[in-house]
């Protein structure tokens, strides 16, 4: 078995997931990432991890498919022979509540994290490992027109608490509920300022701050079943 610890970060070709993967590599982990369509970006992340002198694997995976957890498990186990950290980061932010959108949101934000935890449960228990689920403040403060997204993140919130009880004492399971870490591409300057007026710290977060929070939860400690609101105080309003 590989002597270095190994981590899997879903949806890590870009944005916050990319920073989480690189930060885990810098902390000494071999890192596998999943991507759906961003092949070139995923390969660049894997190359960056390799330059930090650790093994990397970029795995193409449609996380809305029911059978995807098994294929991801096979690739990760083939590459590393173990798993110490699972970060369920993959996410899709879009409005709507038609049947297709509801299915995609629940499959991506709830079903795939559950299936991946089940697939890797034996390895995570053996490693006394850690699961970190990337949630969203909107699970508590729903946004109009984003019903399916908000409800699916709320389901992942509840799943985090459930798995924390089920996987104890060997595995810790925690969640991070960010406010804005990276602005959506279609946000205008007016929308940004409108949001920031409700944030006591008066700024958006950064991908590094999200990655640092993930690293905190991957340290052995007396913390499980907790949700960190990484929102600059937005949840106080």
- Please identify every residue annotated as catalytic: 149
Q: How remote is the C-alpha of 235 from its chain's centroid? A: 20
- The CA-to-CA distance between both ends of the chain, in Å, stands at 49
* 130-134, strands of its sheet edge to edge: 56-60, 30-35, 6-9, 85-88, 130-134, 172-178, 227-230
DSSP assignment of 53-117 equals TS-EEEEE--TTSTTHHHHHHHHHHHHHS--SEEEE---------SHHHHHHHHIIIIIHHHHHH
The kind and range of the H/E element at 190 are: helix 189-196
């Amino acid at each position: 078995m590989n002597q270095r610890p190994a981590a899997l970060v879903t949806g890590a070709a870009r944005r916050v997931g990319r920073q989480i993967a690189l930060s885990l590599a810098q902390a000494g982990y071999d890192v596998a990432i999943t991507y759906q369509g961003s092949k070139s970006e995923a390969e660049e992340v894997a190359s960056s991890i390799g330059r930090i002198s650790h093994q990397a694997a970029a795995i193409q995976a449609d996380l809305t498919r029911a059978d995807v957890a098994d294929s991801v498990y096979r690739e990760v186990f083939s590459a590393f022979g173990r798993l110490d950290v699972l970060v369920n980061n993959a996410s899709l932010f879009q409005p709507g509540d038609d049947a297709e959108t509801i299915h995609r949101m629940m499959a991506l934000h709830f079903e795939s994290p559950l299936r991946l935890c089940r697939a890797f449960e034996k390895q995570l228990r053996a490693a006394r490992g850690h699961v970190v689920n990337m949630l969203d403040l909107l699970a508590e403060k729903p946004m109009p027109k984003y019903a399916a997204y908000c409800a699916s993140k709320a389901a992942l919130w509840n799943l985090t608490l459930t798995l924390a009880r089920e996987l104890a004492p060997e595995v810790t399971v925690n969640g991070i509920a960010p406010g804005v870490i990276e602005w959506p591409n279609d946000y205008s300057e007016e929308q940004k300022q409108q949001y920031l007026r409700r944030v006591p710290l008066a700024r958006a977060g950064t991908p590094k701050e999200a990655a640092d929070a993930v690293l905190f939860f991957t340290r052995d400690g007396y913390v499980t079943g907790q949700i960190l609101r990484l929102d600059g105080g937005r949840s106080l309003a």
